[in-house]
A and B are shown apart, each in its own frame.
Chain A
Amino acid sequence: MNRHTTIPLIPRREKIMTLLLALGVGLLFVISTLSTGYNPLDFLLNMENFWDFIFQDILPPKIADWKTIGEGVLQTICMAVGASLVASVCSLVLAFLGSNTTAPWPPLKKIVRLVASVQRNIPSMIWTFLLIMSFGIGNLVGVLALLITTCGFLIRSFIETIDEVGNESLEAMEAVGAGRLTTITQVIVPACLPGFLSWLLYSLEVNIRSSTLVGAVGGGGIGLVMMGYIKQFRYHSAIGVILLIAAIVILVDMLTNFLRKKVLA
Chain B
Amino acid sequence: MEQVLSIRGLKKYYGSTRAVENVSFDVARGELVVIIGPSGAGKSTVLRCINRMIQPTEGEILFQGQDMAALHRESQLKPLRRQIGMIFQSFNLVYRLSVFQNVLHGRLGYLSTPDAVLGRYSEEDKKKALEILEMVGLRGMLYKRAGELSGGQKQRVGIARALMQDPVLLLCDEPIASLDPNSSKVIMDQIQQMAHKKQIACIVNLHQVDVARTYADRIVGIHQGRVVFDDVPEKLTDQMIETIYDAPLSQLTVNMEGGKAVNE
Contact = CB atoms under 8 A, between A and B. Distances in A.
Interface in A1-58: 5-7, 9-11
B143 A10 contact: yes
A9 B119 contact: yes
Contacts of B98: 10
Contacts of A6: 123
A104 B119 CA distance: 53
A9 B126 contact: yes
A74 B91 CA distance: 55
Contacts of B63: none
Contact of B121 (A5, A9, A11): A9
A199 B223 CA distance: 52
B229 interface: no
A10 B98 CA distance: 8
A7 B123 contact: yes
Interface string B201-231: 0000000000000000000000000000000
Nearest to B126: A7
Nearest to B127: A7
B104 interface: yes
Given A10-B98, A11-B143, A5 B123 contact: yes
Nearest to A6: B123
Interface residues of B, number: 11
A9 B123 contact: no
Q: Which of A9, A10, A11 has the most CB of B within 10 A?
A: A9
Nearest to A14: B143
Interface in B100-116: 100-101, 104
A11 B121 CA distance: 15
Interface centre among B119, B121, B130, B143 (most CB of A within 10 A): B143
Interface string B103-145: 0100000000000000101010011001000000000000100
Contacts of B123: 5-7
A5 B126 CA distance: 11
Interface string B136-167: 00000001000000000000000000000000
A9 B98 CA distance: 9
A5 B121 CA distance: 14
B130 A9 contact: no
A128 B17 CA distance: 64
Nearest to B121: A9
A178 to B, nearest CB: 37
A7 B100 CA distance: 11
Contacts of A7: 123, 126-127, 130
A9 B103 CA distance: 11
A7 B101 CA distance: 12
Nearest to A5: B123
A9 B104 contact: yes
Contacts of B121: 9
A10 to B, nearest CB: 7
Interface in A186-224: none
Contacts of A11: 143
Interface string A64-84: 000000000000000000000
Given A7-B126, A7-B127, A10-B143, 7 more contacts: A6-B123, A9-B100, A9-B104, A9-B119, A9-B121, A9-B126, A10-B100
17 contacts: A5-B123, A6-B123, A7-B123, A7-B126, A7-B127, A7-B130, A9-B100, A9-B101, A9-B104, A9-B119, A9-B121, A9-B126, A10-B98, A10-B100, A10-B101, A10-B143, A11-B143
Interface of B: 98, 100-101, 104, 119, 121, 123, 126-127, 130, 143
- Give 3 closest A-B pairs by Cβ, nearest first: A7-B126, A11-B143, A9-B119
